[in-house]
């Protein structure tokens, strides 16, 4: 296991009912195939050594002994395989017959986990043959290797994070599944050996069940279903297998096809989520722990990482997300305005994406409160870097929304300020840039005082992460509506508003979307175009939002973030480019925390925010040395 990733698999072999020799051959073949694919944990279906549909043949000593003999041969022929796998078989112990999962590794039987919930309805009459396991103390039984039988958690000695438990089919479908206690005692993966017949609608229900269980328990869930070869006397089995990770489907088999599916589960991510939740409470002594040891495998990751983790993949999901976020932002602002009895708000409108989104949110908030949109004072403040395009868009946008539009040229004010502090206007340094940003903030703050209103902040989450804001300039406001919206999502929110706007407003928003991202603090080019482009300076926002998500949301190391970024951006950016911007992100994220430590209020709309009052508490003088050493 490297970087927390472990390859898991579900195998649905062809079976012959009651032919333990044939079934053992197929299991051995599947184990060896999976090992060659770098799989570390492989789950087979329920009672796969005998077949699930043996009926009263389960009462035959011949079948039970044949299953035990087949298991011994499976162990012998897989003793050199660096893989742990679970197979199902009937086990006789203490005058009772149990439906068990046999956990095997390198020729040894690590343990037997009996089924706890035995169905006895409709087409399933397992109680006719099997006894439910009542729990309690695990015990040694006379089986290969004096096997432990009972409630067990299995753990890799070299990589303790690799831990799993097992439940069998019906165990998942009951009100209180065993997997809840397994996860509560530290199992990171739940293996389910299943034989679930197929009827209309059951596939979707099964999918939802595994989805929710993996999310609720913050675990990997491997559900292996039986398929072709089981008796179709009264039922049909499709081999519908699933691999989930914390509510995310990694792999799903094609029904009625069989074979093996694989999914790379991220155990470090699961651990990080559990640490954040802090709700998993162990029942001490409730489970035996059995150790095994596997050599680590360097995986070529076979899983999907979205380039834009903040942005839903499908258009329908994205539209729903945009509607929800704009509503949440507007509700936050509306609540603040009503709470302080304020009907005026001031926005510095540049004609760029962020201030456009802030105006959109303000308009929706005023509509919620049935307030006159003229209470929104949109101020455009051209100076040295302002282009005709952005200035025109700002004025047209405010007018189209029915806001109070004001234009205040701050050029003379900034020049006077330069004269006062001895700044050469021809020196385009940080002082030259920040003086403009702070003058703009002074203007809108004073307008807010004069009008009895509040200043609405426009800065977004990505800018806060990078510290791409002028301290006590655009960094400051009375309420920052975009504070938890990343740059990659801002564009989609404005685009969503455009799709619902009338023709005139839509055209303005479309041009705003086409305008390069820029603070416009340096003079335009000779042809009047924007010369200062943010992404040329700090790097692509799609990369920085990717880094931000996995740094804050998952707590990943820079080394791991680099690895998954290479997967996500394969063919878009090479390793050197990703590494360059990841180093810059890491340096800036640490160095600019002081700006985040004094942020104004603003609404939380997603799981990644940087508010110093709850979601991200970090000392402003923390060292980035350990993080940068990984990248060096």
82 among known catalytic residues: no
Helix intervals (H) in 37-159: 61-77
Give 139-205 as a DSSP string: EE-SSTTS-EESSEEEEESS-TT-EEEEEETHHHHSSS-HHHHHHHTT-SEEEEEE--B--TTHHHH
32 among known catalytic residues: no
State both tokens at 413.
């004010």
324 among known catalytic residues: no
What is the crossing angle of helices 541-548 and 487-500, to 10°? 110
Of the residues 68, 115, 391, 595, only one is catalytic, namely: 115
How far apart CA 39 and CA 560 sit, in angstroms, is 20
How far apart CA 214 and CA 210 sit, in angstroms, is 6
> Using a CB cutoff of 8 Å and minimum separation of 24, what contacts does 372-376 make?
372/343, 373/401, 373/402, 373/403, 374/402, 374/403, 374/404, 375/343, 375/344, 375/345, 375/404, 375/453, 376/345, 376/347, 376/401, 376/403, 376/404
SS3 call for 6: strand
Strands 259-266 and 288-292: unpaired
Phi/psi region, residue 567 (left: phi>0; alpha: psi -120 to 50; beta: rest), is: alpha
State both tokens at 566.
């290479």
Backbone dihedral angles phi then psi of residue 249, each to the nearest 5 degrees = -80, 120
Helix then strand count (H, E) for the chain reads: 20, 22
Of the residues 169, 191, 219, 342, only one is catalytic, namely: 169
* Dihedral over alpha carbons 373, 375, 377, 378 (to 10 degrees): -10
How far apart CA 114 and CA 102 sit, in angstroms, is 9
**Do the beta carbons of residue 513 and residue 357 sit within 8 Å?**
no
How far apart CA 190 and CA 165 sit, in angstroms, is 5
* Start-to-end Cα distance in the chain: 22
**Do the beta carbons of residue 512 and residue 393 sit within 8 Å?**
yes
Residue 388: its H or E element: helix 388-401
Helix intervals (H) in 501-592: 503-514, 534-538, 541-548, 558-568, 575-591
CA gyration radius for the chain?
31
**Do the beta carbons of residue 46 and residue 168 sit within 8 Å?**
yes
Partners of 108 in the β-ladder: 105
State both tokens at 102.
């046999």
**Do the beta carbons of residue 263 and residue 243 sit within 8 Å?**
yes
Of the residues 10, 20, 35, 46, only one is catalytic, namely: 46
Q: Which residues are catalytic?
A: 46, 115, 169
């Amino acid at each position: 296991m490297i970087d927390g990733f472990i390859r898991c698999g579900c195998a649905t072999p062809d079976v012959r009912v009651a032919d333990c020799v044939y079934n053992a051959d197929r299991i051995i073949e599947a184990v060896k195939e999976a090992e060659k694919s770098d799989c570390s944990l492989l789950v087979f279906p329920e009672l796969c050594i005998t077949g699930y549909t043996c009926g009263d043949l389960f009462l035959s000593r011949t079948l039970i002994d044949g299953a035990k003999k087949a298991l011994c041969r499976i162990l012998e022929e897989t003793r050199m395989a660096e893989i742990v796998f679970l197979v199902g078989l009937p086990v006789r112990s203490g005058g009772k017959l149990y439906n068990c999962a046999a956990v095997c590794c390198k020729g040894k039987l690590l343990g037997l986990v009996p089924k706890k919930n035995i169905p006895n309805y409709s087409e399933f009459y397992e109680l006719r043959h099997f006894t439910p396991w009542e729990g309690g103390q695990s015990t040694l039984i006379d089986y290969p290797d004096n096997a432990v039988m009972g409630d067990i958690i299995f753990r890799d000695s070299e990589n303790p994070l690799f831990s799993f438990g097992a439940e069998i089919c019906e165990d998942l479908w009951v009100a209180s599944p065993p997997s809840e206690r397994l996860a509560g005692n530290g199992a990171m993966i739940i293996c389910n050996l299943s034989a679930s017949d197929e009827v209309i609608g059951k596939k979707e229900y099964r999918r939802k069940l595994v989805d929710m269980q993996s999310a609720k328990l913050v675990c990997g869930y491997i559900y292996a279903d039986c398929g072709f070869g089981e008796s179709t006397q009264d039922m049909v089995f499709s081999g519908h297998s699933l691999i989930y990770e914390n509510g995310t489907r990694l792999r799903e088999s094609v029904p009625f096809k069989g074979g093996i599916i694989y999914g790379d589960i991220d155990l470090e991510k699961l651990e990080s989520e559990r640490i954040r939740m802090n709700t998993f409470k162990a029942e001490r002594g409730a489970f035996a722990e059995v150790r095994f040891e596997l050599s680590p495998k360097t995986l070529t990751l076979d899983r999907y990482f979205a380039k834009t983790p903040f942005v839903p993949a499908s258009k329908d999901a994205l539209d729903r997300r945009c509607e929800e976020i704009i509503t949440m932002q507007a509700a936050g602002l509306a609540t603040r305005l009503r709470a302080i009895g304020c009907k005026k708000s001031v926005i510095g409108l540049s004609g760029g994406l962020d201030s456009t989104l802030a105006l959109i949110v303000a308009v929706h908030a005023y509509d919620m409160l049935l307030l006159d949109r003229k209470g929104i004072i949109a101020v455009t403040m051209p100076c040295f870097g302002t282009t005709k395009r952005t200035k025109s868009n700002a004025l047209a946008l405010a007018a189209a929304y029915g806001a109070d539009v004001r234009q205040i040229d701050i050029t003379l004010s900034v020049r006077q300020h330069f004269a006062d502090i001895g700044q050469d206007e021809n020196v385009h340094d940080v002082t030259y840039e920040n003086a403009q940003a702070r003058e703009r903030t002074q203007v809108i703050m004073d307008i807010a005082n004069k009008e009895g209103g509040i200043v609405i902040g426009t800065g977004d989450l990505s800018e806060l992460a990078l510290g791409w804001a002028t301290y006590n300039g655009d960094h400051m406001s009375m309420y920052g509506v975009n504070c938890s919206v990343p740059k990659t999502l801002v564009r989609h929110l404005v685009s969503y508003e455009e799709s619902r706007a009338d023709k005139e407003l839509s055209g303005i928003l479309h041009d705003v979307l086409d305008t390069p991202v820029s603070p416009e603090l340096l003079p335009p080019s000779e042809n009047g175009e924007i010369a200062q482009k943010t992404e040329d300076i700090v790097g692509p926002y799609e990369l920085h939002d990717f880094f931000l998500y996995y740094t804050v949301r998952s707590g990943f190391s820079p080394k791991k973030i680099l690895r998954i970024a290479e997967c996500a951006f394969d063919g878009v950016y090479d390793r050197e480019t990703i590494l360059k911007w990841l180093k810059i992100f890491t340096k800036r994220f640490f160095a600019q925390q002081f700006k985040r430590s004094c942020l104004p209020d603003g609404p939380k709309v997603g799981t990644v925010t940087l508010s110093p009052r709850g979601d991200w508490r970090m000392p402003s003088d923390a060292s980035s040395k350990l993080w940068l050493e990984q990248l060096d």
